[in-house]
Structures are given as structure tokens and as C-alpha cells.
Structure 1
Amino acid sequence: MAATDSTPIHEAPQLLTIDELAEMLQVSTSTIYSHRSLGLPLPPAAKICGRLRWRLSDVEGFIAEQFAEAA
């Protein structure tokens, strides 16, 4: 690949804040914190610079799994 090629070497995953995660799951942020402390199912999170972040792809997979289990 040439150095002038505009194709990115890799794309960074889209990261969500807790507010964005809560909006996607249609729950409150306190529900997310509660689920984390109780060990209830949630998409995996990482602390980045001291802040919790979720990968959009993980959240979408988690939602799909929840529907698959409910079927």
C-alpha cells in the first residue's frame, strides 16, 4: 500500500459513553450502574482515561443476543 493511499490502516471502533449506551438500551444510567454492580448482563466495557466506554459493535451484538435468547 502506498503512503499516499487514502485507505486507513485500521479504523478505530466507535465508542459510546454511558449516556449513549443508556439511550440505545432505553434505560437510565443508574440502571446500567446497577446492572454492573450486580453482575447482570451488559455489553463489555473498558475504562479509557478513567471513563467507561462501550464499543458500538459490542452493544449491537448484545442487543441481538438478547432478542435471540427471547425467541
Structure 2
Amino acid sequence: MRTFLVKFHKTVSDGRGYDRQIIQQQSIVPASYGEAAADAAKTMFCRAASIVDWRLRADTCEVVEMAEPAA
């Protein structure tokens, strides 16, 4: 099974009027493919934040496959 790093970001404006991507949560998720990892991480995010939809606290969901350690 592969391992993915899933990050949730919220876009906020700083004091100078520039938009910044702020990490709301990140999770390491084992899954067969990226979309399954994203779905599992979305469920975990909603449970942790006691919300029904992850988009209430984040704007984007980024999935990156982590490299396997060399044997």
C-alpha cells in the first residue's frame, strides 16, 4: 500500500493585501491511490473539526505521494 501526505489549505489575506496559503491540517494516509487518500483525509479532517464538510475550514486539498524508503 502506498502512503500519501494530504494537506488542507485556507487562503487568507495578510496585512499588505497579499493572499497566503495557510495549512489547516495535514495527514499521512495509507491508501491504494491518491483519491482514496484524499477521501480518507477529508473524513478525518471533518471528524477532528466537528464539521460536516471540509470546505468550511479549507479551500484546497493537496495530495502528494510519499517516497518509499530505500531498502
**TM-score of the two chains, using structure 1 as the length reference:** 0.30
**TM-score of the two chains, using structure 2 as the length reference:** 0.30
**Higher RCO (CA < 8 A, seq sep 6+):** 2
Which has the larger strand fraction? 2
Which has the larger helix fraction? 1
Larger radius of gyration: 1
